Amino acid sequence: MSDLHATAKQCLDCADPQEKLRLTHAAWAALQRGELTPDPDAPPPQPIAAGRPERPRLVHPRELAQRGLGTIEGRVALVHAVAHIEFNAINLAWDAVYRFRGMPAQYYRDWASVAHDEARHFAMLSARLAELGHAYGDFDAHNGLWDMAEKTAHSDAARMALVPRVLEARGLDVTPGMIERLQRVGDDATVAVLEVILREEVAHVAFGSRWFRWCCERDGLEPRATFRKLLQEYMGSNLRGPFNHDARREAGFDEAELEALEAGL
Q: Is residue 265 very low, low, confident or very high in pLDDT (cuts 50, 70, 90)? A: low
Distant-in-sequence, close-in-space partners of 16: CB < 8 Å, separation ≥ 6: 51, 53
> What's the rounded mean pLDDT across residues 122-148?
95
Give all domains of the chain, ordered by start, each with its CATH number: 2-263 (1.20.1260.10)
DSSP 58: B
Q: Convert the pLDDT of each residue in 8-27 to its tens digit.
A: 999 999 999 999 999 999 99
Indicate the pTM of the whole model.
Answer: 0.95
Q: Convert the pLDDT of each residue in 61-77 to its tens digit.
A: 887 777 778 888 999 99
Q: Convert the pLDDT of each residue in 106-127 to its tens digit.
A: 999 999 999 999 999 999 999 9
Q: Convert the pLDDT of each residue in 144-190 to its tens digit.
A: 889 999 999 999 999 999 999 999 999 999 999 999 999 999 999 99
36-37 and 2-3 as β-strands: parallel, antiparallel, unpaired? Answer: parallel
Q: Is residue 263 very low, low, confident or very high in pLDDT (cuts 50, 70, 90)? A: confident
Percentage of the chain beyond pLDDT 70 is: 99
> What's the rounded mean pLDDT across residues 194-203?
97
Percentage of the chain beyond pLDDT 90 is: 86
Decide: 163 and 145 in contact? Cβ < 8 Å: yes
Does residue 125 sit in helix, strand or coil?
helix
Predicted local distance difference test score (pLDDT) of residue 17: 97
pLDDT reading at 133 higher than 70: yes
Q: Name residue 117's amino acid.
A: D
Predicted local distance difference test score (pLDDT) of residue 1: 59
Judged on CB neighbours under 10 Å (0-12, 13-18, 19+), 13 is middle
Q: Name residue 201's amino acid.
A: E
* Torsion of Cα atoms, 66 then 62 then 142 then 163, to 10°: -100
Report angle CA 163, 168, 171 to the nearest 5 degrees.
160
Predicted local distance difference test score (pLDDT) of residue 196: 97
Q: Which residues of 160-192 are buried (b: 16+ CB within 10 A; e: fewer)?
A: bbbbbbbbbbbbbbebbebbebbeebebeebbe
